[in-house]
Amino acid sequence: MKFSNLLVQWYLQNKRDLPWRIDTNPYTIWLSEIILQQTRVAQGLPYYFRFTEAFPTVFDLANASEQEVLKLWQGLGYYSRARNLHKTAQHIAFDRNGAFPKAYKDLLQLKGVGEYTAAAIASFSYNEDVPVVDGNVFRVLSRYFGLETDIASAGAKKEFTLLAAAVLPSGRANLFNQAIMEFGALQCVPKNPDCHHCILSDSCVALQKKQVALLPVKSKKVKVTQRFFNYLVFSDDNEHTMIQQRIAKGIWYKLNEFPLLESNENSTLTDVIELIENQTFIRNKILNISLHNSDPIVHKLSHQKLFIRFWHVKVSGFIENGIDWESARKMPFPIVIFNFISNQ
């Protein structure tokens, strides 16, 4: 098919020199795909090098502690990916003697591996004829074929997957899947693509109908919840502070943080004092409380907007199980808290 051949030809001439493309090792391909989920290549690349240096093999990753893995992942976000990465590495290393499944349907059984990631590993490592469908593929197919299906709708994934499978050249899944994704990342970009210097311009339906800016259609809006976090930065006579691990499922699960008081809006000093008095996590006498940042730090997540303030709380005596700042810096934190700690 002309469409497929042109994409492969374009890819061979324009592909980026990325380290996970050097060979077909399923470990490094799996690692790169997990890192790049909802992450730009430029942001994910340093993490890929960090992980492959620390954990050259799946056995090295499996034998690491979860806190070590979370620390290396710090700042990349969506931390469930790191926890699933670690659990899957342990399964591959200890239950499968280091061997990854070779078929798409079996790869789907791995924790943290969905349809896209399974297809990527199956095609890139084993050249299985299975299509990959990510945001780039949605965009390329939608524009080229003029599809106005809302990609957020229930049946969109199946429709686009069937189309991607139809245009997939048999025996060339490795090349074609990487080609169509790379084409979407570099050429058929979301805004203001250079359509006049595009190899598909002669046959692109969206270009002919002047619908490039309108496709793909995505109507569903993400509802963003606002939350107000007050972090209590305790300090005792030893200049030790208090750190705790988040144990509630949700954002930043199993990362560390200062004791947290969540409120319905930005809190005043009186509010914070009242909130502290209702807690039992500190028994020391409070000597002084001061606000570190009067303007909240706004930290945006996919479905949440956090307004974060740090409160310095000086207490008498010594905090039970207190920790010094040097030790704290070695622990995994949400990046917004780590940035605060780095300046202490």
Long-range interactions of 328-332: CB distance < 8 A, separation 24+: 328/241, 328/243, 328/256, 330/71, 331/67, 331/71, 331/243, 331/256, 332/67, 332/70, 332/71, 332/73, 332/74, 332/255, 332/256
Phi, psi of 284 (to 5 degrees): -70, 155
Contact residues for 318 (Cβ-Cβ < 8 A; gap 6+): 236, 237, 238, 240, 284
Give the HSE-up count for residue 67: Cα atoms under 13 Å, Cβ half-sphere. Answer: 8
**Residue 290: enclosing H or E segment and its boundaries?**
strand 286-291
What size, in residues, is the chain?
Answer: 344
* Two structure tokens written together for 129: 């004829």
What CA–CA distance (Å, rounded) separates 4 from 158?
A: 20
Look-up of token digits 């969506």: 78
Look-up of token digits 């917004």: 336
Q: Is-catalytic flag, 274?
A: no
Pairing of strands 297-300, 286-291: unpaired
Which residue in 33, 115, 257, 265 is the catalytic one?
Answer: 33
What CA–CA distance (Å, rounded) separates 23 from 34?
A: 17
How far from chain centre, in Å, is Cα 33? 10
- Which of these, 38, 53, 39, 48, lies nearest to 18 by C-alpha position? 48
Distances (CA, A) of 65 to 69, 233, 274, 295: 7, 27, 38, 37
* Two structure tokens written together for 17: 């020199």
What CA–CA distance (Å, rounded) separates 257 from 236?
A: 17
Active site positions, annotated: 33
